[in-house]
Chain A
Amino acid sequence: MGLLCSRNKHYNEADNEENAQTAEIERRIEQETKAEKHIQKLLLLGAGESGKSTIFKQIKLLFQTGFDEAELKSYISVIHANVYQTIKILYDGSKELAQNNRETYEISSENKEIGEKLSKIGSRLDYPRLTKELAQDIETLWKDAAIQETYARGNELQVPDCANYFMENLQRLADANYIPTKEDVLYARVRTTGVVEIQFSPVGENKKSGEVYRLFDVGGQRNERRKWIHLFEGVTAVIFCAAVSEYDQTLFEDESKNRMMETKELFDWVLKQPCFEKTSFMLFLNKFDIFEKKVLNVPLNVCEWFKDYQPVSTGKQEIEHAYEFVKKKFEELYFQSTTPDRVDRVFKIYRTTALDQKLVKKTFKLVDETLRRRNLFEAGLL
């Protein structure tokens, strides 16, 4: 005993210092936990190419410092890759389609050589910087009647949504001093893998800073979804993106599966997660810009989920009617997949075009208001 005491005495000074350090660490952890409690956790979920990352980029633009020149420039290689990949998909696609219909899909003989060259570049690991000459070649091929016919069947070929936008801007993208615009960056397609997050606080016109949010973006393909569950704890709201324009397309990772059917099953699965009992759901019916162009040409009922759809009119009226039909389907699905003990969680549907900055700003303001009201309600103040 005496021995123990004397030993203790020997270490006393060091111990005191250590204790103080431990206390300080504990105090900080407590402080951080308190601060963390304030932070609202938001998850962007949805199938592949539903627009999650575009919303994520918009939030960065709106509530963080935006993109500086270095960040804009880092998108040059992505955008050029989008161009090379698009033209390769279209050229290879037209060759395949031509096997059954030469008249429509056979590339004119003078463009075949260009096509072969570009297709080779497209399968390389490192793409060359887009020069004026290459841009000219791509433009020539893009304007080939067979490529345009192939593009009209883009829904069967995994052509990215940005295809037309970048093809219409080739000369600008090939400029030696090209710096991507904000719009170019929003259009740029990067398949997300893993998880990225940002923290932000939406500052309104009156400069009064509101809630602090931490927003998580994830990959949407099937293999990515097994990672989602790591994020499911303590979520304030899920922003679920569903691309309403994709009712006639198949999955990137499984071309035997319709994208809308996948989204239906995915939304159902997310809604039933035990962790989300009290989580608010913000459903973004996204890509309305593509939907409104498509729906007049491609009837909604090509998709099994919408097979009971009957068009009623033409033009703008028909677009609204079709959209309301889709919205109703999702609404029904929500209530079917929500057990009675969860009926008091918040559910809102928004019509969005993730590329449209004004619309996303407006939409996020509504989301923010809804969540703040919800907090007051939870605290018994409303």
Chain B
Amino acid sequence: MNKRFRQSFMSFADSCLAGESVHFYEEVHELGKIPVDDPVRRIYMARHIIDKYITAGATMEVNISHRSRQAILTTSNLAQPNLFNDALNELIQLMKMNLANDYWSSTYFMKFKEEASMRSHELQQMTSLGTLPLPG
């Protein structure tokens, strides 16, 4: 999805004190770009994400279920591509239900729209939050 749109949405989420879900989404997205045949970098990145978002009491701890958290913390393979899928799934639901509606009527979206109308092709690309794709 469009990078500018994601940034606009992230600023909005930050302003509602709900930004950690979006930051987590972004970082898992980045993890998805690391090739599967580079397990060392994948593990390094996965550890970083766990320390920052998953561990209880982490600085940017995300709002996920006990079950999803435990599955990540007890995994035997940090390089596996689906490591964060369940957590991400829960968080996308959370973002949709909490932030989506308010975002469309926010000044953040207005500003994004204004800027995007100067690059009309981007506005067309931008789709509803309902189609937020899974990174990877």
Question: Chain A residues in contact with chain B, CB under 8 A?
Answer: 74, 77-78, 81, 123, 125-126, 158, 190-196, 219, 221-224, 226-227, 230, 250-256
Contact = CB atoms under 8 A, between A and B. Distances in A.
B65 A158 contact: yes
Interface in B22-79: 56, 61-67, 69
Given A125-B92, A194-B13, A221 B130 contact: no
Contacts of B20: 223
Interface stretch (B3-11, B94-102, B106-114): B94-102
Contacts of A123: 89
Given A78-B97, A190-B98, A193-B98, A252 B17 contact: no
Given A193-B21, A194-B13, A221 B97 contact: no
Contact of A219 (B63, B64, B89): B63
B127 interface: no
B98 A253 contact: no
B66 A255 contact: yes
A380 B89 CA distance: 55
Given A194-B99, A255-B67, 8 more contacts: A191-B97, A193-B98, A194-B13, A195-B16, A219-B63, A222-B56, A223-B20, A252-B66
Interface of B: 13, 16-18, 20-21, 56, 61-67, 69, 89, 92-99, 101-102, 130-132, 134
**What does DSSP make chain B's interface, helix, strand, loop or mixed?**
helix
B39 to A, nearest CB: 26
Contacts of B96: 77
A158 B90 CA distance: 14
Given A223-B61, A223-B62, A253-B64, A194 B16 contact: yes
Most B CB contacts (10 A, CB to CB) among A81, A194, A250 go to A194
> What are the 7 A-B residue pairs with the smallest beta carbon separation, nearest first?
A194-B18, A223-B61, A194-B16, A255-B66, A194-B17, A227-B17, A193-B18
A294 to B, nearest CB: 22
Nearest to A124: B89
A234 B86 CA distance: 39
A339 B61 CA distance: 32
Nearest to B15: A194
B131 to A, nearest CB: 8
22 contacts: A74-B101, A77-B96, A81-B97, A123-B89, A125-B93, A125-B132, A158-B65, A193-B18, A193-B21, A193-B99, A194-B17, A195-B17, A196-B16, A222-B61, A223-B62, A223-B63, A224-B63, A226-B61, A230-B17, A250-B66, A253-B64, A254-B66
